[in-house]
Amino acid sequence: GENVEQHPSTLSVQEGDSAVIKCTYSDSASNYFPWYKQELGKGPQLIIDIRSNVGEKKDQRIAVTLNKTAKHFSLHITETQPEDSAVYFCAASMGAVVDNFNKFYFGSGTKLNVKP
Amino acid sequence: DVKVTQSSRYLVKRTGEKVFLECVQDMDHENMFWYRQDPGLGLRLIYFSYDVKMKEKGDIPEGYSVSREKKERFSLILESASTNQTSMYLCASSTRGSGYGYTFGSGTRLTVV
């Protein structure tokens, strides 16, 4: 099955700096890569996603890049703010193909701390 | 606002008890999932269901079972709770189509004593 690795496990940045979280995946059949943000005491929430036919996607201060050849994708947060402090998860999916049922394979999470 | 609702935020149960965790979604999603979340291990899939009365084992199904009698409801059952099942349990749902994210519930923190 798919294996997703995520680094770093913890990341501390100063407010206003950029933060980058990296993930690698093992199965070249994966074609959908969402990122989730989990605030304390809450369930994960989708913040951005990218499909395999796209190399980069931006949404305000958040961007995701995908390198299919190297099988890695990254989350970039610019101008970080204290409210960005949370745990971030990456995931990979092969979609709704036979026997996969749109299952996601998650990374182990990155705890981001943005210091004021 | 669409939602995945987990019936309990916090539960404390005794070893050996049968425990039911309930999850309801109002998005008419076909797929529903149960994950457990532990520090350093991320989210691990316990069971999932792609249709009413259908279920599939995830990566760590041992000690758990599930029930999906109605499309909107997916229950996780701990047949005989043990202390190593102390964890955060997350329910999620998704449409059957490819390339759509999950919607998660807020989680149930279960402590088995």
Compute the nearest-CA separation of A111 from chain B (Å). 10
**Sheet holding B19-25: strands in order across?**
B4-6, B19-25, B73-78, B64-70
Selected residue of A39, A87, A90, A102 to mutate for chain B interface (largest B Cβ count, 10 A): A102
Supply the pLDDT for residue A101.
67
pLDDT in tens, A27-57: 998 999 999 999 988 899 999 999 888 899 9
In terms of Cβ atoms closer than 10 Å to its own Cβ (0-12, 13-18, 19+), residue B7 is middle
What number is the average pLDDT over the span B108-112? Answer: 97
Provide the token pair at B71: 């499309």
- On whether any CB of chain B is under 8 Å from the CB of A29, the answer is no
Supply the pLDDT for residue A99.
56
Beta bridge partners of B70: B73
- On whether any CB of chain A is under 8 Å from the CB of B66, the answer is no
The percentage of chain A sitting over the pLDDT mark of 90, rounded to a whole number, equals 78
Partner residue facing B106 (CB), from A42, A51, A104:
A42
- On whether any CB of chain B is under 8 Å from the CB of A100, the answer is no
CB contact under 8 A, A96 and B97: yes
pLDDT in tens, B26-44: 999 989 999 999 988 889 9
> Cα–Cα distance between B78 and B16 in angstroms, integer?
9
Is B41 strand, coil or helix? coil
pLDDT in tens, B83-104: 999 999 999 998 877 667 889 9
Interface subset of A 49-88, CB within 8 angstroms of B? 49, 51
Is residue A97's pLDDT more than 80?
no
Provide the token pair at A92: 């990979």
Residue of B45, B51, B111 lying closest to B84 (CA atoms): B111
CB contact under 8 A, A95 and B99: yes
- Closest residue, chain B, to A5 (C-alpha): B42
Total Cβ atoms within 10 A of residue B10: 9
Higher pLDDT, A96 or A105: A105
